[in-house]
């Protein structure tokens, strides 16, 4: 889409605080993270990513380990799923704007695909996709500069914010997303991105245990086990439903490998191990199928 046609961008509420507001500073920071990050040892084609969403100083390097897997690849559309940290009555949200503004430029929103997704959700018996203006959600936006840097040829964005964290919505949304992605022309690759931080404000020892349980649940692709762990208090994630939806959708599309790209806590930056936040990144791919081909 021609940037000149984008007349109603969502202004960024976090540029200059959660990440640098000056384009050259932001680009240097992201490129530095990507240079320092190690390429995850996955095989096959990436179908989805799991990445954290704290301020870049805390979680940028962890995110870069997964985003590095996109370098040299092309994706026509990127579906970013995040939680909603603000309360809304509607269970599932998207933006009413035609683009997201970051210091690196405008990211066009694929409104045609969002309309199609809304129809597919209705067919599945799911909720209506509610559009909001000038939302303050940081967890979706913060992934965009990394995507702009690693996918320089551009992409259409399909932004989704999940207020409802239930397994029932995960199943409905996953079924609709599979149909949406399968409706795209075969040469137009789509990528799924789940935005989530992990445990909050435990000691690092407790955080490592909880986050380790989540990492194993992620690698099992088992939606039921995922929610059982959560119900029993064995793991914690603010973007639980976003992760579950990306895992379920990826599995239905043929993905069979989750490679943990990086894990660390905020103590790596603050030095305070008494109260930490956990950050994990992962690449979801068609790895095992490729190995057996």
Interval 132-147: pLDDT, tens? 999 999 999 999 999 9
H/E run at residue 82:
strand 77-83
- For 245, half-sphere exposure in the C-beta direction (CA atoms, 13 angstrom radius) is 32
pTM score of the predicted model: 0.96
Whether the predicted pLDDT of 292 surpasses 60: no
The pLDDT score that the predictor gives to residue 230 is 87
| Banded model confidence at residue 68, pLDDT cuts 50, 70, 90 | very high
Q: What is the mean pLDDT of the chain?
A: 95
Q: 97 and 135 in contact (C-beta within 8 Å)?
A: no
Hey, what's the torsion of the CAs at 249, 251, 256, 260, to 10 degrees? 40
CATH number for 33-292 (one of 1.10.472.50, 3.40.50.720, 1.10.645.10, 3.40.830.10): it is: 3.40.830.10
Q: Which two tokens stand for residue 223?
A: 């939606």
Q: Give the whole-number percent of the chain exceeding pLDDT 90.
A: 91
278 φ/ψ angles, rounded to the nearest 5 degrees: -95, 140
Distance CA 207, CA 171 (A): 28
The alpha helices in the chain, defined as continuous H runs, are 23-36, 56-67, 111-123, 138-141, 144-150, 167-183, 204-220, 223-231, 240-252, 267-270, 287-292
DSSP class of residue 77? E
The pLDDT score that the predictor gives to residue 131 is 97
Summarize the confidence of residues 81-101 as an average pLDDT: 96
Distance CA 160, CA 183 (A): 18
Whether the predicted pLDDT of 4 surpasses 70: no
Summarize the confidence of residues 237-256 as an average pLDDT: 97
Kindly list the distances between the CA atom of residue 183 and the CA atoms of 180, 188, 227, 245, 250, in Å, as whole numbers in the listed order: 5, 10, 29, 18, 15
Nearest to 66 by CA among 43, 46, 44: 46
The pLDDT score that the predictor gives to residue 280 is 98
The pLDDT score that the predictor gives to residue 1 is 58
| Domain residue ranges in the chain | 33-292
């Amino acid at each position: 889409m021609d940037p000149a046609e984008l007349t109603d961008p969502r202004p960024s509420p976090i540029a200059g605080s959660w990440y640098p507001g000056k384009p050259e500073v932001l680009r240097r920071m992201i490129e530095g993270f990507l240079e320092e990050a190690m390429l995850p040892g996955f095989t096959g084609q990436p179908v989805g990513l799991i990445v954290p969403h704290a301020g870049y100083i805390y979680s940028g390097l962890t995110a870069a380990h997964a985003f590095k897997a996109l370098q040299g690849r092309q994706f026509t559309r990127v579906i970013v799923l995040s939680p909603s940290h603000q309360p809304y009555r509607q269970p599932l949200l998207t933006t009413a704007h035609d683009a997201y503004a970051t210091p690196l430029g405008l990211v066009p929103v694929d409104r045609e695909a969002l309309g199609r997704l809304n129809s597919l959700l209705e067919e599945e018996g799911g909720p209506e996709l509610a559009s909001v203006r000038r939302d303050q959600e940081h967890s979706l936006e913060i992934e965009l500069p990394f995507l702009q840097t690693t996918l320089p040829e551009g992409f259409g964005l399909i932004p989704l914010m999940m207020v409802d964290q239930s397994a029932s919505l995960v199943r409905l949304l996953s079924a609709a997303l599979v149909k949406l992605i399968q409706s795209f022309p075969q040469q137009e690759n789509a990528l799924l991105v789940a935005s989530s931080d992990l445990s909050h404000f435990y000691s690092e020892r407790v955080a490592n245990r909880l986050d380790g349980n989540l990492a194993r649940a992620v690698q099992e692709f088992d939606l039921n086990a995922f929610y059982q762990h959560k119900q029993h208090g064995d793991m914690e994630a603010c973007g639980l439903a976003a992760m579950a939806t990306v895992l379920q959708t990826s599995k239905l599309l043929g993905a069979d490998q989750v490679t943990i790209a990086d894990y660390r806590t905020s103590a790596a930056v603050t030095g305070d191990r008494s109260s930490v936040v956990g950050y994990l990144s992962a690449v979801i791919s068609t790895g095992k199928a490729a190995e057996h081909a």
